[in-house]
């Protein structure tokens, strides 16, 4: 537990609004008594617009802050399943935004390049999972807040059917549309968590009972509807990544181009129509205080002051007609497949043009809840610049399990996702709650053992826990070794080196020997220096092996190299 607390404490502060202290974490772990619980000892985080009794709920708005008297049912279900809450994560204020920079607690930097956005509004929840700080985290999703951040952080974002879970104890954005979403590294983990917190809540007026029959799987080779036209807003790397994703998807599905204009017309209703008045219903007291809200949030929500009940009814009529068109589209295929977003932006660009760029990010997300659909955001590989680029499956209400089943197929089909088949979530047991690190060793991995890579299972099956994603000191060169299966890198210390992306894993000492025994020459384990000066055990390479290897130092890490290989192959 000490190692977990230290890692959380030392993580990027803008990820969190409230972190539990070490004594609280130990107390929560020591309360666990039933190892058979499905999430026994699994640490997790929740977005700070979801109530946890005794903790403040801010919704990233200090003027709104209150101490929750009750725990939201979705969180309580996970606590009852044995999970350990570690903290509450940052978000776009009042869950209004898809960018992750609209918070007085700081912009959440992208884990793969801090100059870029993480996406929002569930920015902190996606980032803490992407960085390996927790195995899963809860977000919320009204317009895409549980999907856009997943696409930008190489995580899974499960956006359930609205009403399939309770939203009591969740600060409303648009109460008629709000969902509680989950971020994880694998579809299996995300579905495990969702199955624990979903269910009818008689005290929630928008909760709905499950239908008698819920589809469990898509066909062996499903027909997936794809957009016949796509706006890329000049992001050529996103466009190229989509072409590669379609090429890979064609191996396991039939792709059917469709005219999806009805979806775009629906998306326009969310912020250009009277649903913004739902946000105003929560923010109205704050609108009277000039300093309570960020200016961009005030601008977005303030539009509602010029709307009327007549506008609301007219929009409802239009939505009903658009839903008929959307249902007709879905009837032609087994599900839709779209880019999670049409591109990604630098933080400074979003700050300079906050409303237009935010709006562009919602092209493929804003319509889903309005049309009563479910969605699953999936990792889709990496762009040429090393940033993740996600895809999203969309289906009718109550098709959550069917999308998840196919999502697992997609992850197993991708070489760089082969280890993301779950669901053996890292756990902290009561016995570990007060122990020090004497029984564990930190191992730095740089290539095929990274999260989602082919050999990652050699760590997880030995009880390995991902501590953090970081970099080496700037004194290493990275090489793609020749004739290795699966492809492997070699890390060599050098006077003219650079910082290389790595992950630090905690491995039980009792398992370390068997792990080392799996490492083939020319690789071995030695001492490796991290960016902050720590010396840890890590993969090193014998010098002779680089004679016929390819120097890939300039790419900064193995994931970027794998992405480049895929680009070349396609």
Residues 51-86: b if buried by 16+ CB within 10 A, e if exposed? bbeebebbbbbeebeeebeebbbbbbbbbebbbbbb
47 is catalytic: yes
CB within 8 Å of 354: residues ≥ 6 apart: 99, 101, 102, 296
* DSSP assignments along 434-454, one per residue: T--STTEEEEEE-STTSTTST
3-state secondary structure of 210: coil
CA-based angle 226:231:237, to the nearest 5?
90
- The whole-angstrom separation of Cα 265 and Cα 392 is 19
**Cα gap 476→56, rounded to integer Å:** 44
Beta strands in 379-415 (DSSP E): 391-396
Q: Are 319 and 298 in contact (CB under 8 A)?
A: no
Question: What is the distance between the alpha carbons of residues 106 and 98, in angstroms, rounded to a whole number?
Answer: 15
Nearest in space to 189 (alpha carbons), one of 380, 454, 426 = 426
DSSP-derived secondary structure letter, 161: P
Judge whether 33 counts as a catalytic residue: no
Tell me which H or E stretch contains 512.
helix 509-516
The runs of H, that is alpha helices, within 49-202 are 73-80, 123-130, 148-153, 187-197
Q: How many CB atoms lie within 10 A of CB 252?
A: 15
Of 114, 178, 169, the residue nearest 145 (C-alpha)? 178
Please give the structure tokens belonging to residue 356.
């237009």
Tokens of 497: 């080196």
Residue the block writes with tokens 């209004």 = 96
CB atoms within 10 A of CB 535: 12
CA distances for 117 relative to 74, 112, 157, angstroms: 28, 10, 17
DSSP 165: B
Per the residue annotation, which of 11, 14, 47, 130 is the catalytic one?
Answer: 47
- Report the interhelical angle of 309-330 vs 261-272 (nearest 10°): 160
Tokens of 169: 């104890």
* Cα 321 from chain centroid (whole Å): 33
Instruction: Calculate helix-pair angle for 236-249, 558-569, nearest 10 degrees.
Output: 70
Q: Is 145 a catalytic residue?
A: yes
Q: Looking at 104-221, which runs of residues are DSSP E strands?
A: 109-110, 113-117, 136-141, 156-159, 179-184
Catalytic residue selected from 14, 103, 130, 145: 145
**253: which 2 tokens?**
């599905």
- Among the listed residues 173, 174, 203, 208, the one whose alpha carbon sits nearest the alpha carbon of residue 47: 173
- Which of these, 563, 516, 513, 511, lies nearest to 538 by C-alpha position? 516
**Set 11, 14, 121, 164: catalytic member:** 121
- Residues designated as active site: 47, 121, 145
């Amino acid at each position: 537990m000490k190692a977990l607390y230290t890692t959380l404490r030392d993580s990027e502060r803008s990820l969190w609004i409230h972190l539990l202290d070490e004594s609280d974490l130990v107390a929560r772990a020591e309360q666990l008594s039933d190892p058979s619980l499905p999430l026994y000892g699994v640490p997790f985080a929740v977005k700070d617009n979801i109530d946890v009794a005794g903790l403040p709920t801010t919704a990233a708005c200090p003027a709104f802050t209150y101490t929750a008297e009750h725990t939201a049912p979705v969180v309580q279900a996970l606590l009852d399943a044995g999970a350990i809450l570690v903290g509450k994560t940052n978000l776009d204020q009042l869950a209004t935004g898809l960018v992750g920079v609209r918070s007085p607690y700081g912009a959440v930097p992208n884990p793969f390049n801090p100059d870029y956005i993480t996406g929002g509004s569930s920015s902190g929840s996606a980032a803490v999972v992407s960085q390996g700080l927790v195995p899963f985290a809860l977000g919320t999703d009204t317009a895409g807040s549980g999907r856009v951040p997943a696409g930008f952080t190489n995580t899974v974002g499960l956006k359930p059917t609205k009403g399939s879970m309770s939203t009591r104890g969740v600060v409303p954005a648009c109460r008629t549309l709000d969902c509680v979403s989950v971020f994880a590294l694998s579809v299996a983990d995300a579905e495990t968590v969702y199955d624990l917190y979903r269910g009818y809540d008689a005290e929630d007026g928008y909760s709905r009972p499950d239908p008698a029959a819920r589809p469990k799987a898509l066909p062996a080779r499903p027909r997936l509807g794809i957009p016949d036209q796509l706006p890329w807003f000049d992001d050529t790397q996103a466009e190229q990544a989509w072409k590669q994703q379609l090429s890979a998807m064609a191996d396991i599905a039939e792709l059917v181009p469709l005219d999806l204009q009805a979806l775009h017309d629906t998306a326009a209703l969310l912020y250009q129509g009277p649903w913004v008045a739902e946000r105003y219903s929560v923010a109205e007291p704050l609108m009277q205080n000039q300093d309570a809200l960020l200016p961009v949030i005030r601008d977005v929500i303030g539009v509602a002051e010029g709307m009327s009940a007549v506008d609301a009814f007219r929009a409802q009529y239009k939505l009903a007609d658009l839903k008929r068109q959307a249902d007709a589209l879905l009837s032609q295929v087994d599900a839709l497949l779209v880019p999670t977003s049409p591109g990604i932006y630098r933080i400074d660009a979003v700050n300079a043009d906050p409303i237009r760029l935010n709006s562009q990010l919602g092209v493929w997300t804003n319509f889903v809840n309005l049309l009563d659909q479910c969605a699953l955001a999936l990792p889709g590989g990496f762009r040429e610049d090393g940033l993740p680029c996600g895809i999203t499956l969309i289906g009718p209400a109550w098709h959550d399990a069917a999308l998840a089943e196919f999502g697992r197929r997609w992850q197993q089909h991708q070489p760089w996702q082969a280890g993301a088949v779950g669901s053996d979530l890292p756990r902290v047991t009561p016995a570990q709650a007060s122990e020090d690190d004497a029984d564990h060793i930190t191992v730095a991995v740089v290539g095929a053992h990274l999260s989602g890579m082919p050999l990652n299972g050699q760590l997880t099956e030995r009880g390995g826990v991902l501590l953090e994603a970081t970099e080496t000191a700037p004194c290493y060169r990275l090489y793609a070794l020749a004739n290795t299966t699966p492809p492997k890198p070699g890390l060599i210390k050098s006077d003219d080196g650079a910082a290389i992306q790595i992950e630090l894993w905690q491995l039980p000492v009792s398992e370390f020997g068997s792990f080392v025994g799996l490492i083939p020459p020319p690789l071995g384990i030695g001492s490796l220096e991290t960016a902050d000066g720590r010396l840890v055990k890590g993969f090193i390479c014998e010098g002779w092996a680089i004679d016929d290897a390819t120097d890939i130092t300039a790419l900064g890490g193995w994931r970027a190299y794998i992405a480049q290989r895929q680009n070349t192959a396609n």
